[in-house]
Amino acid sequence: MAKAQLYSTGTEFEQPAAATRSITQETVPVARLINQEIAAGLLGVSPKWLERDRWAERRIPYVKIGRLVRYRASDIAAYIDANTQGAA
C-alpha cells in the first residue's frame, strides 16, 4: 500500500546554519506540525470531529504546545494509510 504524501517538501525542517547549534551539535529532525483546521481538511472531516476524537476516541496522536493543539503531518498520513480499505 502506498504511503500518503501530504507535502512535497517532506515532513521535516532543516536545521539552520551553524549559528544555532544543539547541545550535541547534531541535526535534530523536527516533525512538521499542522493545526486542527489543516488536519481536518486533509482528512475531509470537520474540526469538531477532531476535537471529539481528542477527548473521546484518541485515534490520532496530537501535540499540545501550551493551549495550542497541533498534529504531526506524519501521524495524519499514518492514520490515512491505516484506514485505507481495499477494493470490494
pLDDT class of 8 with cuts at 50, 70, 90: very low
Digit-coded pLDDT (tens) for 22-49: 555 566 677 899 999 999 999 999 999 9
Domain ranges of the chain: 35-82
In a 13 Å sphere around the CA of 41, the CA atoms on its Cβ side amount to 6
Is the pTM higher than 0.85? no
Nearest Cα to Cα of residue 31 among 57, 6, 58, 68? 6
Q: In whole numbers, what is the pLDDT of the chain averaged over residues?
A: 81
pLDDT of amino acid 57: 85
